[in-house]
Chains A and B, each alone.
Chain A
């Protein structure tokens, strides 16, 4: 199971975010920049956290920002944002967040292959710290695609 190719525009390294909304917006902007989603999808991702709480922080240091498939999703896509300064989402166990993954799917089942590939990459417990510490897009890609040997 391999990750869909991550375009340069889908990866932002060492970004600065004032708070969690900013951090999610950066991941949304990267999806918009890669042509996968519209700005409405970014707002929907933020609304998910407003409505349900910080459950998208699914592991220590990692947030998986996403919303429902819909008209604001043009193609299936992933984005990766690493933060220069960690940001708190208000999660009881997994704060603060250093890495935000943006995920967009056109249909509930269609994204499962990307999700399985993400699970492959992050089931290596050192992967989140390695992505957070990466200084180039290629390093991020190598870790997520399991080529880093980390």
Chain B
């Protein structure tokens, strides 16, 4: 399984999201590769992804995709992340 985290620069916010998503996946006992990318490369990076984690600001720019686009409000709230990742995968 592949999860892509998206932000404007592909560093910083998407990096935080990647680190915290990996922690949550480990806690849930799930295996997935998590890749941080910028919005400009979403088409190529997320072509084979099951889940895209991002902020509300980028949903429109992501455009048509087969992945589940999941909006995260608080990047440090691992409960929110667990709940939403589990819902997207399950």
Chain A interface (Cβ < 8 Å from any Cβ of B): 48, 51-56, 58-60, 62, 64, 66-69, 92-94, 103, 105, 108, 111-112, 115-116, 118-119, 122-123, 125
Contact = CB atoms under 8 A, between A and B. Distances in A.
* Interface size range on B against A: 20 to 34
A119 B16 contact: yes
A39 to B, nearest CB: 18
A103 B10 CA distance: 13
Interface string B60-73: 01000000000001
A48 B11 CA distance: 12
B8 A115 contact: no
B11 A66 contact: yes
Nearest to B17: A58
A19 to B, nearest CB: 18
